[in-house]
């Protein structure tokens, strides 16, 4: 007998629906809060909500089967993915704070161009943000306004090195600091592994790649739900949902 065709199964489906809705209540509430506060853009939230609800629909249609159980586990994992969205919100807040701090530095430089601290602070902020060109501009401005110094020359050299390393995609070994060529798997100097699993994911992290990922996740999920409703093979539906799950988690992770 296919699930959903008897009164007993209908009760089971209702229980499954209630349980699944309870599970997503907290992450839903948290992400909605961030959306209302304006700390995230609507895109991540929309994708996340769609995926959560899609999995709930999948669970209800496949309840009572091994697949339904698998979907339940995946929904449980997805509930924790709101932390990625939270990380995005924190990054946005950090961006805003940095922008305010830099504006303050600019204002201080305008008022008293010979003071050193606004330059130092601006350079530190830009460097942390990996905005090396902008950091170099501050150093150059200091040299023009105040005069050259050995310290500023060192800072400038370091910034130019960082800029060049980034331009050529050099992998700097975190262990010994050796600069390895772009595709290096291990450090030429000390043999430390340089290939990170995130390297592969980072390749998708362009705006285009992210759009494709979220679209893939949702398309697979919708296909999974439709096939589950028409009673297609459980394995096929399972594969679609696992694909949807992976694509959505990768998307949320990369956005964060």
Q: Among residues 52 and 173, whose Cβ is nearest to Zn ion?
A: 173
Residue 254 CB partners (closer than 8 Å, separation 6+) = 201, 202, 204, 205, 209, 210, 213
Output the smallest distance, CB 194 to Zn ion, in A: 8
Among 5, 189, 198, 206, binds Zn ion (CB under 5 A): 189
Using the minimum distance from each CB to Zn ion, give the nearer residue, 95 or 199. Answer: 199
Phi then psi for residue 186, to 5 deg, are: -130, 160
* Per-residue DSSP letter, 180: E
Task: Check residue 195 for interaction with Zn ion (CB under 5 A).
Answer: no
Question: Nearer to Zn ion by C-beta: 105 or 187?
Answer: 187
Which of 190, 195, 196, 202 touches Zn ion by CB under 5 A? 190
Could you tell me the smallest distance in angstroms from the CB atom of residue 222 to Zn ion? 47
* 194 makes contact with Zn ion (CB under 5 A): no
46, 161, 165, 178: residue in contact with Zn ion (rule CB under 5 A) = 178
Regarding 173 and contact with Zn ion (CB under 5 A), the answer is yes
* Cα separation values, 203 from 42, 83, 130, Å: 24, 22, 19
Greatest Cα pair distance, the chain, in angstroms, is 85
d(CA 31, CA 231): 33
Cβ–Cβ under 8 Å, residues 53 and 246 = no
- Give dist(CA 251, CA 45) in Å, integer: 12
Minimal distance, residue 179 CB to Zn ion, in Å: 10
Which helix (H) or strand (E) element contains residue 171?
Answer: strand 171-172
Closest separation between CB of residue 190 and Zn ion, Å?
3
25 binds Zn ion (CB under 5 A): no
Nearer to Zn ion, 178 or 246 (CB): 178
Least separation in angstroms between CB 185 and Zn ion: 12
Minimum CB separation of residue 172 from Zn ion in Å reads: 9
Q: Give the residue, chosen from 16, 74, 187, 210, that forms a contact with Zn ion under the rule CB under 5 A.
A: 187
Closer of 112 and 190 to Zn ion (Cβ): 190
Identify residues 41-100 at the interface with Zn ion (CB under 5 A): none
Query: Any idea which residue has 């902008």 for tokens?
Result: 134
193 near Zn ion, rule: CB under 5 A: no
Q: What whole-number distance in Å separates Cα of residue 218 and Cα of residue 162?
A: 39
Q: Which is nearer to Zn ion, 107 or 176 (CB)?
A: 176
Nearest CA to 222 out of 54, 19, 47 is that of 54
* Long-range own/partner contacts, residues 115-119 (CB < 8 A, 24 or more apart): 116/142, 116/146, 119/146
Q: Out of 175, 185, 196, 199, point to the residue binding Zn ion (CB under 5 A).
A: 175
Binding interface with Zn ion (CB under 5 A): 173, 175-176, 178, 187, 189-190, 192
């Amino acid at each position: 007998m296919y699930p959903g065709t008897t009164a007993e199964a209908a009760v089971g489906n209702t229980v499954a629906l209630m349980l699944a809705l309870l599970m997503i209540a907290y992450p839903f509430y948290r992400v909605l809060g961030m959306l209302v506060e304006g700390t995230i853009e609507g895109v991540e939230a929309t994708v996340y909500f769609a995926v959560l609800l899609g999995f709930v629909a999948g669970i209800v249609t496949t309840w009572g089967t091994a697949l339904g159980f698998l979907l339940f586990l995946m929904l449980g994992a997805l509930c924790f993915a709101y932390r990625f969205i939270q990380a995005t919100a924190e990054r946005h807040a950090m961006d805003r704070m940095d922008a305010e701090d830099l504006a303050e530095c600019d204002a201080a430089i305008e008022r008293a161009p010979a003071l050193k601290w606004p330059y130092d602070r601006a350079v530190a902020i830009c460097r942390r943000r990996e905005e090396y060109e902008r950091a170099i501009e501050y150093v150059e401005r200091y040299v023009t306004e105040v005069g050259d110094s050995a310290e500023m020359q060192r800072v400038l050299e370091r910034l130019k090195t960082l800029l060049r390393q980034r331009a050529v995609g050099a992998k700097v070994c975190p262990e010994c600091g050796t600069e390895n060529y772009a595709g290096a798997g291990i450090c030429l100097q000390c043999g430390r592994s340089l290939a990170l699993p995130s390297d592969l994911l980072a390749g998708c992290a362009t705006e285009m790649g992210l759009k494709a990922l979220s679209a893939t996740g949702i398309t697979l999920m919708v296909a999974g739900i439709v096939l589950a409703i028409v009673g297609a093979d459980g394995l096929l539906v399972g594969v679609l949902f696992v694909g949807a799950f992976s694509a959505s988690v990768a998307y949320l992770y990369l956005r964060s």
